[in-house]
């Protein structure tokens, strides 16, 4: 008798869940997007593999450019074509401005107090405005051009000094130090690392950034199965907490040093750099949050600096590393780029940012690198504020949206020979002439699109173009003994940013007149 009662209760519960499920999703009459069956409890999480952007790309070939997954108790929709991405990020952008809850934002990014993961609203707009005015506007970029040119000049001299060494240069780390110091000088008026070529401290910071991007890109089971959260089955949260402590010490040191220098020099806190402005605003009623005045705190400042020193540096340096790797593999393209640079710049000086508009092939190389190796292969997740209909399918309220940028940039419907490195596709007369990187052409959106497009996009594009142009112009590039260009390892390491699985180790050789390296 007891068995019969248990069976009836189980049937009743399953029936209720079944009715709840369909009442939740069938409103409006549109069907749910198609998708694969998942595992009990975990859903499709175990199927993602070590390279989720590749897995989701393969699934889009089976289920179409808009499909549905289940990660634990969370509904996930994946956009895998330019047309579907545009329907989410252009036509329905206002409905997908918020981020879903996640461990990275809670345990690393100061519990959503940053810019990247902050809820869409007044505080987010105020933080973005501050960054835009002081770092990313056209005026700010032009005013701080001398900073970037100075740091790239130091990078060139450091590489030149390593030219006669038998020890190869870790290019990604050297470029990351350059990008970090350039951003640090713009943000707070001083370098973070004095050893431009690297050093133990710079190497540790690079590892911290890579670890953050790897952890932030990991699909943590506890985010999707709430009752498993306390177990931390993958150990992700424990790693995040340890990493957060490192970053917190690093950022506390930066802020304390900045205050000390300002106090010694007698400067007011209203200085030109962003950090001085933020410190000056600390404690003041600066924004209106849900009808109440909010105050900028040290936590807000550290969270914003965390965004800048991670997303603002590693994406640029990894893209430059990919670009140089592709050019080493294709020496004919490298020679053409060097010929263009020699024609515009000559061999008597280094590249200036003012030269960049006159370098169409170099710009095409950068676009093709962003296409073939998008710095963020899967977009940062967004969440549906309300139920809506996209491409004829129902998207439920609270669903997480993932845009597979990697799949879009490798879609043969949009790109001829999508697996080949072909910069000429962007040149005048090429099949994709006129496509830009700024979120208007959904076939190529490495910085995202819509309201939550990357705030530092303009700086990122300029830095990648400038560093790539300088490295191509100033040096010839050799590989360590035993390596050949045709077999250079191009394997990807998945994370929030697309790293090389094997760092690019190179031997630079100066190709300009000696005086060019001395200025």
Here the tokens at position 73 are 């108790």
In 189-235, which residue ranges form alpha helices assigned H by DSSP? Answer: 199-217, 221-224
Query: Minimum mean pLDDT among 16-25, 149-158, 198-207: which range?
Result: 16-25
Number of H helices, E strands in the chain: 17, 13
- Residue 171 neighbours by CB distance under 10 Å: 22
- Helix, strand, or coil here: 399? coil
Task: Using alpha carbons, list the distances in angstroms from residue 242 to 245, 247, 298.
Answer: 5, 9, 20
In 358-444, which residue ranges form alpha helices assigned H by DSSP? Answer: 360-372, 405-409
Residue 10: pLDDT over 60 = no
pLDDT for the residue numbered 276: 86
Tell me the backbone φ, ψ of residue 82, rounded to 5 degrees.
-65, -40
Here the tokens at position 117 are 């993961």
- What H or E segment, with its residue span, contains residue 66? strand 66-71
Average pLDDT over residues 17-28: 44
Separation CA 395–CA 379 (nearest Å): 18
pLDDT for the residue numbered 98: 96
Residue 6: pLDDT over 90 = no
- Closest among 324, 317, 350 to 473, alpha carbons compared: 350
**Block residue for tokens 């990807």:** 492
The more confidently predicted of residues 364 and 258 is 364
Separation CA 254–CA 298 (nearest Å): 12
Query: Minimum mean pLDDT among 141-155, 212-226, 330-344, 401-415: which range?
Result: 212-226
Q: What is the CA radius of gyration of the chain?
A: 24
Name the packing angle between helices 331-345 and 298-329 (round to 10°). Answer: 110
Residue 240 burial (C-beta neighbours within 10 Å; 0-12, 13-18, 19+): buried
* Segment 240-288, tens digit of pLDDT: 999 999 999 999 988 988 888 877 665 544 446 888 888 887 755 444 4
* Per-residue exposure over 27-39, b if at least 16 CB sit within 10 Å of its own CB, e if not: eeebebbebeebe
Please spell the DSSP secondary structure of 327-338, one letter per residue: HHH-HHHHHHHH
- What H or E segment, with its residue span, contains residue 142? helix 138-143
Domain ranges for the chain, please list them.
Answer: 27-517
CB 192 within 8 A of CB 13: no
Task: Using alpha carbons, list the distances in angstroms from residue 509 to 216, 395, 462, 464, 472.
Answer: 37, 55, 25, 21, 11
Here the tokens at position 262 are 């300002």
Annotated binding-site residues for heme read 454
CB 353 within 8 A of CB 470: no
CB 174 within 8 A of CB 159: yes
On whether the pTM is more than 0.85, the answer is yes
Query: Minimum mean pLDDT among 35-39, 178-182, 430-434, 495-499: which range?
Result: 495-499
pLDDT for the residue numbered 263: 72
CB 448 within 8 A of CB 89: yes
Measured at the CA of 186, the angle between CA 180 and CA 187, to 5 degrees, comes to 85
- Closest among 246, 324, 294, 342 to 118, alpha carbons compared: 294
* Segment 456-486, tens digit of pLDDT: 999 999 999 999 999 999 999 999 998 999 9
CB 405 within 8 A of CB 378: yes
Query: Minimum mean pLDDT among 79-88, 145-154, 315-324, 487-496: which range?
Result: 487-496
CATH 1.10.630.10 fits 27-517, yes or no: yes
Separation CA 131–CA 329 (nearest Å): 37
* Segment 340-362, tens digit of pLDDT: 999 999 999 999 999 999 999 99
* Segment 217-233, tens digit of pLDDT: 889 999 999 999 999 99
Mean model confidence pLDDT for the chain: 88
Residue 398 burial (C-beta neighbours within 10 Å; 0-12, 13-18, 19+): middle
Annotated binding-site residues read 454
Q: Indicate the pLDDT class of residue 23, thresholds 50, 70 and 90.
A: very low
- The DSSP 8-state label assigned to residue 116 in this structure reads S
CB 485 within 8 A of CB 328: yes
């Amino acid at each position: 008798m007891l068995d019969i009662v248990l069976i009836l209760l189980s049937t009743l519960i399953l029936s209720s869940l079944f009715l709840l499920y369909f009442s939740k999703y069938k409103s409006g009459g549109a069907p749910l997007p198609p998708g694969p069956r998942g595992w009990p409890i975990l859903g499709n999480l175990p199927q993602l593999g070590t390279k989720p952007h590749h897995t989701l790309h393969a699934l889009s070939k089976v289920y179409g450019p808009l499909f549905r997954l289940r990660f634990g108790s969370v509904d996930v929709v994946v956009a895998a074509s330019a047309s579907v991405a545009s329907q989410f990020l252009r036509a329905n952008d206002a409905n997908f401005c918020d981020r879903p809850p996640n461990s990275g934002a809670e345990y690393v990014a100061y519990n959503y107090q940053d810019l990247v993961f902050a809820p869409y609203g007044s505080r987010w707009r105020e933080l973005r405005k501050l960054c835009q005015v002081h770092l990313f506007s056209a005026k700010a970029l032009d005013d701080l051009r001398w900073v970037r040119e100075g740091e790239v000049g130091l990078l060139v001299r450091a590489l030149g000094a390593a030219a006669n060494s038998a020890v190869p240069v870790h290019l990604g780390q050297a470029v990351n130090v350059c990008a970090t110091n350039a951003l640090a000088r713009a943000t707070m008026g001083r370098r973070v690392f004095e050893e431009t070529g690297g050093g133990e401290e710079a190497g540790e910071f690079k590892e911290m950034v890579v670890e953050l991007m790897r952890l932030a890109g990991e699909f943590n089971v506890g985010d999707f199965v709430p009752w498993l959260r306390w177990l931390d089955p993958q150990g992700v949260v424990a790693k995040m907490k340890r990493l957060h402590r490192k970053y917190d010490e690093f950022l506390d040191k930066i802020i304390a040093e900045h205050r000390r220098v300002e106090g010694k020099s007698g400067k007011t806190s209203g200085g030109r750099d962003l950090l001085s402005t933020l410190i000056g605003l600390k404690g003041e009623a600066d924004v209106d949050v849900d009808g109440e005045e909010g105050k900028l705190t040290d936590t807000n400042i550290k969270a914003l600096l965390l965004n800048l020193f991670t997303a603002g540096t590693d994406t640029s340096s990894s893209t430059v590393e990919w670009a140089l790797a592709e050019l080493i593999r294709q020496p004919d393209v490298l020679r053409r780029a060097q010929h263009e640079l020699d024609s515009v710049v000559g061999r008597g000086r280094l590249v200036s940012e003012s030269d960049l508009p006159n370098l169409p092939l170099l710009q095409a190389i950068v676009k093709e690198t962003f296409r073939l190796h998008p710095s963020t292969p899967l977009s940062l997740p967004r969440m549906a504020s309300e139920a809506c209909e996209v491409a004829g399918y129902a998207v439920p309220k609270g669903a997480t949206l993932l845009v597979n940028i990697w799949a879009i940039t490798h879609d043969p419907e949009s790109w001829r020979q999508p697996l080949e490195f072909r910069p000429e596709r962007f040149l005048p007369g090429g099949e994709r002439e006129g496509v830009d990187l700024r979120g208007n052409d959904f076939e190529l959106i490495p910085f995202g699109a819509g309201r939550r497009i990357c705030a530092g996009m303009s700086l990122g594009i300029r830095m990648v173009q400038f560093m790539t142009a300088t490295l191509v112009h100033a040096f010839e590039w050799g590989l360590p003994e035993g390596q050949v260009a045709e077999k250079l390892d191009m394997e990807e390491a998945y994370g929030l940013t697309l790293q090389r699985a094997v760092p690019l180790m190179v031997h630079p050789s100066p190709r300009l007149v000696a005086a060019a390296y001395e200025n």
